[in-house]
Amino acid sequence: MLELRPNCECCNKDLPPDTADAMICSFECTFCRDCTETTLVGRCPNCGGELVARPIRPAEKLLKYPASNRRVVKQDGCVAAVA
C-alpha cells in the first residue's frame, strides 16, 4: 500500500492525499509537480527512476487507510538525477 507521504522531498511543500500535484517513483520518493517538471525533469533524484502522478485514494478509504504523516526532506535540496 502506498504511504501517501505528506510533502515534497525537494521543497517541503505540503502534498495532501487528495492533491493531483503529487508525483512518486517506484520507491515512493515523493515530489510536487513543480519540482518534478522543472528541477527533476521527470526523474527521481534518489533512484533515477520515473516519476508518475500519485493516485488519489478515495476519501472513504482514507478513514481506514490513512495517509502517512512522516515527512521526508532531502537535506541538501534537489538536483536532477545524473543521466
Residue count of the chain: 83
40 binds Zn ion (CB under 5 A): no
Residues 5-34 that bind Zn ion (CB under 5 A): 8, 10-11, 13, 25, 27, 29, 32
Q: Shortest distance, CB of residue 4 to Zn ion, whole angstroms?
A: 16
Contacts of 15 (CB under 8 A, 6+ apart): 5, 6, 7, 8, 21, 22, 30, 32, 54
78 binds Zn ion (CB under 5 A): no
65 binds Zn ion (CB under 5 A): no
